[in-house]
Structure 1
Amino acid sequence: MSEATVPAGVPEPTAADDARQPVATAGGAATAAPARGPETAASARRNERSVLAFEENEYTRTELDAMADGLAEALATCGVRSGARVALMSSNRPEFVTAVLAIWRLGAAVVLLSPAWKEAEAAHALEITGTRHAVGDHPVLAGLTDMVSLDDPLPAVTRTFVPPDPAADAVLVFSSGTTGLPKAVRHTHRSFAAAVRHWQDALGLSPDDRIQVATPPSHILGILNIVTALETGCWVRLHRRFDLQKVLAHIQSDRITIEMAVAPIALAMAQYPDLESYDLSSLRYIMWGATPVTASIAETVTRRAGVTWLPAYGASELPVIACSPLDDPRLDSVGKAVAGVEVRVVSLDDGKPVAPGEDGEIQLRAASLMAGYLPESATAAAFDNGWYRTGDVGNLDASGWLRLTDRSKEMIKVRGFQVAPAEIETVLHGHDAVSDCAVFGVPDGANGEAIVAAVATVAPVTADELKATVEQRLAGYKRLRQVLFVAEIPRLPSGKVLRRVLKERYGRPADE
């Protein structure tokens, strides 16, 4: 993902945000970019334009490349080679961008760890990916493995780098599974490049556009926005953390043309009392992603600020699935499949394609589809004869408009983040007072869902103690909103939790 202005739902700042040293500059590396072959006049002009802003500093592509080259040399000195996996756990800062570029220069894959994660979560990510190298600014990662610090000075280099193999892994992001801890989603250079092209086309991006990123870049949408901006040549402002006043002020002062929003940001805008005092006329639209549009919220912002919305739909496994056409945006749909992505809807009963407008599971095929999961054993169940099974339930009408109506998986979606009930249940089962438990989601307005735990106990324990146990072990967005003490957890004879029964009994909206 400003204590006074962060809406419930945007990730809180981490310890690394405030503990780290001031942003490091490229030092001598800025004047020692490696030879890259002859430049055209157009590419030379593009490279000398400012492409990234952070606080009071701006960077040209030449400067970013020089910083990336220096960091690549430092990583190579530590043993990073082609085919390696390198963990990156960092606050929002320019060095996050150059770290991604540096890792790719070496033909290695970047493993994106959320800065909101605690030690157990980060350790699990390192284990399932077999990651032995690390770079970042986060004390959790530094405590788990040798980490190249983003605050270290960079060497000056004058070397060239071999382009990576398109079939090699480029990015690993994490998506929670229904049966336990998060899985790593593997994207190759080829699949991620296809996703970038899809996003460029869907948003109608050009070098004249100006965007800003205030959400965590370790999330698939964050890294997609940054890399797409760099590939397009448009200008991007990176924020240390989400602060609505700063976001609105920079739309006005930077003349931002496209704003990226998830539901909590949209809600914060709709509720902000001084929204009308900002000049937002430079915006072409605000993109709404991660959750289906809440029409009343979007319409409130449009009425107050005159800004239109562009709904979009994606997943860690296939980053760009659908988007509203630029010339015909609609709030009652996540849009139409982007060019290059095939969508079908199949029956939840027999897996056969359903008629237009009929609900079923949404399945996908595309060049931008992930290469698979880690652990590899999780991959097979995600596919049906080559079609990726999203677990989302919806319908596709005869005109190609796609609508989401439910989720067949048991995932809890909090502010655009997927939370696996089993992960929280594992933590609760570790408490001596808990004999059984089950975790489920309840409606929570623009945040999507809030997390509730039904708990059976064998010894006295308070709800606050159980909440604190989860908060100490897992990221902030996985915290429990409510603990319900029950006599027993409803289960099938096989032992499977009947979450549907729990939701029927206790699944009231979180604010009731």
Structure 2
Amino acid sequence: MVNITGRVWEIARSSPEQVALRSPREVTYGQLRTANRRVAGAIEASGRRPHGRVLLIAPSVPEFPEVYYGLHAAGCTVVTMNTMSTAHEIGYVLDDSGADLVIVWREHAQAASNAARERDVEVWVLSENAELAGAPAVPGEVTEAFDHDPEDTVVILYTSGTTGRPKGAELTAANLVDTADSFRPVLNLTREDRLGTALPLFHVFGQAACMNTFLAQGASLSLVHPFDPDALLRLMRDERLTALAGVPTMWNAMLHAPTELAPGDVASMRVALSGGASLPAEVIERFADRFGCAILEGYGLTESTGAATFNDINREQRAGTVGPALPGTSLQVRRPDGTLADEGEVGEVFLSGPTVMKGYWNNPEATAAALDDGWLRTGDLGSLDADGYLRIVDRSKDLIIRGGYNVYPREVEEVLYRHPDIVEVAVVGVPDDYYGEEVAAVVVGSPGSALDGEQITRWAKDYLSSYKVPRVFSFVDQLPKGATGKILKRSIDREALVAGRE
């Protein structure tokens, strides 16, 4: 059998009283399987067959895994979407995926219902304890998870992209299981581990790299929704977490949250997992000093099931890198002409291995552009050291070329994060008549600080070559972020930056 639900149910059979979900509602593995079977039975009673697409729109609440694994048990292809999606966005995914059922958390039902009504698509409204309004009153009886072929498409995740319409990355039954298995040895996971997170479970990081990985090993999951740095800090202490998963903006918010927690209060914590975006070294150092726990960076894409590299807990941790390849994954860094880059040379990162997607749903042209004989073209710029540790420099599309010199925004951001009055920063390129592009910084300052561009420029010149120093500044209360907390540079108004300069 190849089914991620089958892996979770193995724990339920051997240890039904083992806790799967600790908070905000405790659910044992036995209870989780019961809820999954009820959902799978409702799918069967509705007349749906395996491989049909079902759209799931729900936040990070216990009901998400109760429904998610139930859909997988029934053999459905699960399409998960951001809870902030509009009716227009939901409609696009319904049209493209061909889903004939929407399961939506009650607070987000209106947009989904509007989109579904226009297409005569059935809607079941999800509420507490995995109650499904609109589902058959007498569900069928599902005792075993559907036995998938390893290459069956079981999840479709739509990538936001910066150009064109979203594309649906097809993740296979084997992708989900192999991702969970690849993280186990590099994290030394056991059934005693307790993971806490505020990551959205509809996103690949929270869903595949975290939820599936920990629950497939018999560990437990504690959820915080919505993200609140104080709540997550308290959770570390109260639930005696051993692991925490987040993105850079979450770690940064936790560092700036007023708390009396000392390292001794969270002594159970052994690892923090970071992904979704590059993490400034300054944040890693400050987190370790404050909470006595190392943040280990990894790297993955939706198209690689959220898995590619990780700073293996059993190996040397190298700050500034995202670690070596996960077990079974191969890495290459290529020059623009397709030849392999030398050690330390920056080029485009390519991935190959068991977590790489099958392709893009109903989009052979995009699939051909992304996959080269099994190698996934990431669009990220990076370099490999002598031991295979990967350093991500930037997205190729984010590269700034100022007067013929390459400026990598991440490098500039790393320096600016050292400034004591900078809480968050995003560096982007803006058009410039003389240099072609100029380096611009959008800054969130600490409360009460009196930052100005000239001051930052003078300060940065001690750490950066002159051509890398930002000359254009904007000071804001907050940066635009996606559902995972990742800073959305594409949402920064470059024209406003240029106009403000003038």
TM-score by length of 2: 0.73
Residue 403 of structure 1 and its aligned partner are, at CA, apart by 0.4
Residue 325 of structure 1 and its aligned partner are, at CA, apart by 2.2
Instruction: Give 1:109's aligned amino acid.
Output: T
Residue 168 of structure 1 and its aligned partner are, at CA, apart by 1.2
| Other-structure match for 1:150 | 126
Instruction: Give 1:50's aligned amino acid.
Output: V
1:53 aligned onto 2:26: no
Unpaired stretches in structure 2, ≥5 consecutive residues: 1-5, 117-121, 401-408, 411-427, 429-437, 446-479
SS at match of 2:495: strand
Closer, same or farther: CA 480–357 of 1 in aligned 2, 3 Å: closer
| Other-structure match for 1:406 | 394
From 6, 25, 38, give the equivalent of 1:70.
38
From 160, 178, 184, give the equivalent of 1:194.
178
| Other-structure match for 1:245 | 230
Closer, same or farther: CA 506–263 of 1 in aligned 2, 3 Å: farther
SS at match of 1:122: helix
Closer, same or farther: CA 339–291 of 1 in aligned 2, 3 Å: same
SS at match of 2:26: strand
1:309 aligned onto 2:295: yes
From 200, 203, 212, give the equivalent of 2:187.
203
| Other-structure match for 1:213 | 197
Residue 391 of structure 1 and its aligned partner are, at CA, apart by 0.4
| Other-structure match for 2:370 | 382
Whole-angstrom distance in 1 between the partners of 2:372 and 2:443: 33
8 Å contact from structure 2 (residues 40, 142) kept in 1? no
Residue 77 of structure 1 and its aligned partner are, at CA, apart by 2.6
Residue by residue over 1:128-156, the C-alpha shift from the partner in whole angstroms, topping out at 9 and shown as x without a partner, is: 21211121212222222221122335756
Whole-angstrom distance in 2 between the partners of 1:443 and 1:352: 34
Residue 507 of structure 1 and its aligned partner are, at CA, apart by 11
From 149, 169, 194, give the equivalent of 2:153.
169
Query: What pairs up with 1:315-330 in 2 under 5 angstroms?
Result: 315-318=301-304, 319-327=306-314, 328-330=316-318
Residue 45 of structure 1 and its aligned partner are, at CA, apart by 5.0
SS at match of 1:47: coil
8 Å contact from structure 1 (residues 395, 404) kept in 2? yes
Whole-angstrom distance in 1 between the partners of 2:172 and 2:350: 20
8 Å contact from structure 1 (residues 313, 322) kept in 2? yes
Whole-angstrom distance in 2 between the partners of 1:285 and 1:103: 31
| Other-structure match for 1:417 | none
Residue by residue over 1:221-275, the C-alpha shift from the partner in whole angstroms, topping out at 9 and shown as x without a partner, is: 1111111121100011122211111111111111100111201111012212325
Whole-angstrom distance in 2 between the partners of 1:131 and 1:147: 11
Instruction: Give 1:107's aligned amino acid.
Output: G
Whole-angstrom distance in 2 between the partners of 1:200 and 1:114: 27
Residue 402 of structure 1 and its aligned partner are, at CA, apart by 0.7
Query: What pairs up with 1:123-134 in 2 under 5 angstroms?
Result: 123-134=91-102
From 294, 299, 316, give the equivalent of 2:285.
299
Closer, same or farther: CA 446–49 of 1 in aligned 2, 3 Å: farther
Whole-angstrom distance in 1 between the partners of 2:186 and 2:359: 25
Residue 293 of structure 1 and its aligned partner are, at CA, apart by 2.0
1:351 aligned onto 2:322: no
| Other-structure match for 1:108 | 76
Whole-angstrom distance in 1 between the partners of 2:441 and 2:271: 27
Between the two proteins, the alignment pairs up a number of residues equal to 401
Residue by residue over 1:188-245, the C-alpha shift from the partner in whole angstroms, topping out at 9 and shown as x without a partner, is: 1012211111122222211110001211101101111111121100011122211111
Instruction: Give 2:345's aligned amino acid.
Output: E
SS at match of 1:150: strand
Residue 112 of structure 1 and its aligned partner are, at CA, apart by 0.6
Whole-angstrom distance in 2 between the partners of 1:404 and 1:338: 16
From 217, 225, 233, give the equivalent of 2:218.
233
SS at match of 1:148: strand
SS at match of 1:337: coil
TM-score by length of 1: 0.72
